[in-house]
């Protein structure tokens, strides 16, 4: 709530916000309802898929006995996770919502008998991972995950670690501006300056 209040105080129009892309942050939906009445939540599909891993039991790995799992089948475990991860991401790469639902059904049919806990975790709140389909197709790759934004912040942290300390706020903001500009160039996107909002 305080985050949204701060953004609104700095000039954000709460009525204009249509979408908030996030992981499963607690309290977010209540804060959105109170402060961003027009917005929907899009759960990050990358976090959603990745979240299955901690629930894997590796039941019935081909050619193994349960007793052997702890001591010699890490490559089979890695292969199972790689397959599930790839198929999980493929759900959200479908061109349409209807196709995504068909892929989801096939995914559940394949993996639920082997990894019921992981599939249960994946299906929990999954409806919010498909909200991006309500927006223009050209936006899908940008709004279905928080990964693109997280990469920018990771690169900024790397640069600030290299620099060590900034003499003032302007120098810090300049480095952040350059990181964002470089990110846009890497992805072939034109960099457009937004209206300046003074940070207080």
* Whole-number pLDDT of residue 143: 93
CA-based nearest residue to 91, from 106, 110, 111: 106
* Whole-number pLDDT of residue 121: 97
* Whole-number pLDDT of residue 65: 54
Q: Label residue 43 exposed, middle or buried (CB < 10 Å: 0-12, 13-18, 19+).
A: buried
* Whole-number pLDDT of residue 189: 57
| 17, 129 contact by CB (below 8 A) | no
* Whole-number pLDDT of residue 153: 73
| 29, 41 contact by CB (below 8 A) | yes
* Whole-number pLDDT of residue 106: 98
Alpha-carbon gap, residue 107 to 13, rounded angstroms: 40
Positions in the chain short of pLDDT 70: 63-72, 187-200
CA torsion angle 59 64 69 73 (round to 10): -110
| 22, 44 contact by CB (below 8 A) | yes
* DSSP element (H, E) containing 33: helix 28-35
* CA distance readout (Å), 12 to 7, 72, 133, 169: 6, 55, 25, 22
**Contacts of residue 156, Cβ cutoff 8 Å, sequence gap at least 6:** 175, 176, 179
**Quick count: other Cβ atoms within 10 Å of Cβ 25?**
11
| 75, 50 contact by CB (below 8 A) | no
**Contacts of residue 182, Cβ cutoff 8 Å, sequence gap at least 6:** 155
* Whole-number pLDDT of residue 197: 41
* Whole-number pLDDT of residue 152: 72
pTM: 0.76
């Amino acid at each position: 709530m305080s985050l949204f209040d701060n953004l609104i105080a700095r000039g954000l129009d709460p009525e204009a916000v249509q979408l908030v892309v996030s992981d499963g942050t607690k309290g977010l939906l209540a804060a959105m309802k109170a402060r961003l009445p027009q917005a929907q939540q899009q759960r990050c599909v990358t976090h959603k898929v990745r979240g299955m891993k901690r629930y894997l039991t590796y039941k019935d790995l081909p050619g193994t006995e349960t007793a052997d799992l702890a001591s010699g089948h890490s490559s089979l475990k890695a292969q199972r996770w790689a397959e599930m991860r790839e198929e999980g991401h493929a759900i959200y790469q479908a061109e349409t919502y209807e196709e995504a639902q068909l892929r989801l059904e096939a995914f559940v049919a394949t993996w639920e008998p082997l990894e019921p806990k992981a599939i249960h975790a994946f299906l929990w709140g999954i409806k919010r991972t498909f909200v991006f389909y309500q927006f223009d197709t050209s936006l899908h790759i940008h709004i279905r995950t928080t990964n693109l934004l997280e990469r920018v912040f990771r690169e900024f942290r790397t640069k600030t670690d290299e620099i060590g300390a900034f003499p003032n706020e302007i120098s810090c903001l300049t480095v952040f501006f350059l990181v964002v500009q470089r990110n846009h160039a890497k992805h072939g996107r034109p960099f457009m300056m937004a209206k300046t909002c003074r940070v207080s």
